[in-house]
Every structure is written in C-alpha cells, then in structure tokens.
Amino acid sequence: MSTPQSSDAKSSERGQYLSFALGTDEYAIEILRVQEILSICPITALPQTPPHVRGVMNLRGAVVPVIDMRGALGLATEPYGKFTVIIVLSVKGRTVGFVVDSVSDVLSFDESAIERSPDLGGRVDASLVSGIARTQDRFVVLLDTDRVVGADVPFGLAA
C-alpha cells in the first residue's frame, strides 16, 4: 500500500496486486480495488443466503456483506485462524468484505508474465480467474475481481 510515488509510471505497464493465501495456494487481486484490510470482527448472519455469505459487518456505520473467499471460489471452508483477515474491496460502488486465510504481499507483474487462459485442472471456478502469474519462485492465481464480487453481489441494482 505504501508504494513509492515513482512507481506511478511503471504501474501502468506492471499491474499491482495484493496477494493472499487460501491454504497453501496463493491468490491475488488488483490492488486498486482494495479499500482496506481488517482483522476478523463480529459478523451478523443473514438469513436466506448461500452459506459462504457469512453475513454483514459494521464498517464505520456502513453495513457491508462479508463473503468467505474459500466458499466463493468453491473450496472447502476452514475455521478462522489467527491470521484470518477481511479484505474490503470496492467494486462498482459496492463495498464488500472477503474473508481470506491471510494476506501476503503486494506484487507487481509484467503483462508478459501473466498467462491469460490457464488450465487450473478444475481446482477453482475458471470463470473467476483472470490469469496465472509465474515468477521464479511463485505461482499466483489472479482473480477477476468483478466476477468474484458479482457472483454474490448483483451489480444491476447499484445506484
């Protein structure tokens, strides 16, 4: 988040991502969509919603839905641990929180390092993935933020 000003020009070519862990796998989302990161807080369950929609939280007076990222991607759920955090995303005027196992890093990738239509072997829903970034030591699944959020939060009703 505390990226130096000089990276402005670079970031247009090199996309910046916030990476997080779900189990042993590393995922990332565009950093410009990240509003803040919170430690886990009281969540009020919502009735009549899919199980991975954990409920809503009070974010400084705003009622914000909290979605389990594991559930959203079709992975098995895990109990919350001490690194569990909520990544608050701001997408198309909506504010939505996603529970992840932990946040790892701010990464930047050249477009050339991203494989756009990867074969994930059916581990996660391919329509939610925008690409795979590979570096020497890393294998990061880049998520399509709009689709991940849009799967649970209908945009059509937004003001």
Q: Is 42 in the site for other proteins (CB under 8 A)?
A: yes
Q: Is 159 in the site for other proteins (CB under 8 A)?
A: yes
Query: How far are the Cα atoms of 12, 13, 40, 95, 121 from residue 100, in angstroms, in the given order?
Result: 27, 28, 10, 16, 22
Q: Is 154 in the site for other proteins (CB under 8 A)?
A: yes
Distance of CA 94 to the CA centre of its chain: 14
Q: How many CB atoms lie within 10 A of CB 19?
A: 21
Using CB under 8 A as the binding rule, the residues of this chain from 78 to 137 that contact other proteins are 94-96
Q: Which stretch binds other proteins (CB under 8 A): 2-10, 43-51, 122-130, 138-146?
A: 43-51
3-state SS, residue 143? strand
Residue ranges in contact with other proteins by CB under 8 A: 42, 44-49, 55-58, 61-65, 94-96, 153-154, 157-159
